[in-house]
Amino acid sequence: MSGQGHPESADIAGLPVADFVRQMSDFQTGARREVNRMEPIARALSDEDVRLAAEYYAALAPTPFVEVIETATPPKTYVSANARHRVLSPEGGTEPMGHRIVQIPKDPSRTNIRDPKSGFTAYVPPGSIRRGEELVKTGGGVTVPCATCHGDSLTGLGDVPRLAGMQPVYLARQLISMQNGSRAGTNSALMKPAVANLSEDDVIAIAAYLGSLPPR
């Protein structure tokens, strides 16, 4: 209800009405695929249902929901089948970061009941935030500056959605999906040239930096 997503989903609080409607249309037509959840949900809704939902979420103010921390040794975690995200290993300890983002709930029990005031911690490789800032602001020679479409503060511009404060795991997944073509649709077609030359480390860095920003 709060529009605050989890790593497996999107943050939709404050999402522009036009973009919300566009994404739902892409799910309805199959231009954007997500057969287990979003496609059947979208196809069951009328245009009026979609518009009302879009207006409801657009009116919500996004709040900080993820803390991004750089480290070479994040806590040891595993993917919980029940929660559909990573949680701390009962064994404790740490493990090498490698080339990835490790995102866990601050309080798993509150996260499991969708408490909108209990957010996440995202661990990212050292140097990611600074590299991500360079890529986002200048393109770093491999992409276009994100502010060109998403606004100087990355909080959205017109019907273009915000990137600031989004879940890093979600952002990284969407960038890679746009790059390899597994996410299609209107926005993806526009984004594909911008993500074509990004390495996986670039994607991680961009997601880390954007996730570290205030959402509004």
What's residue 216's pLDDT? Answer: 86
- One digit per residue, pLDDT tens: the chain, 216 residues? 999 988 888 899 999 999 999 999 999 998 888 888 999 999 999 999 999 999 999 999 999 999 999 999 999 999 988 777 899 999 999 999 999 999 999 998 999 888 999 999 999 999 999 999 999 999 999 999 999 999 999 999 999 999 999 999 999 999 999 999 888 887 788 888 999 999 999 999 999 999 999 998
The per-residue pLDDT for 149 is 92
Inter-residue contact 204 to 128 (CB < 8 Å): yes
pLDDT attached to residue 183: 85
User: What pLDDT score was predicted for residue 82?
Assistant: 77
* pLDDT of amino acid 208: 98
Name the nearest CA neighbour of 74 among 97, 49, 107: 97
Helix 186-195 / helix 168-180 crossing angle, nearest 10 deg: 90
pTM for the full model?
Answer: 0.94
Q: Which pLDDT score is estimated for 80?
A: 86
3-class state of residue 150 by DSSP: helix
CA-CA distance, 147 to 82, in Å (whole number)? 37
How many CB atoms sit inside 10 A of residue 132's CB? 28
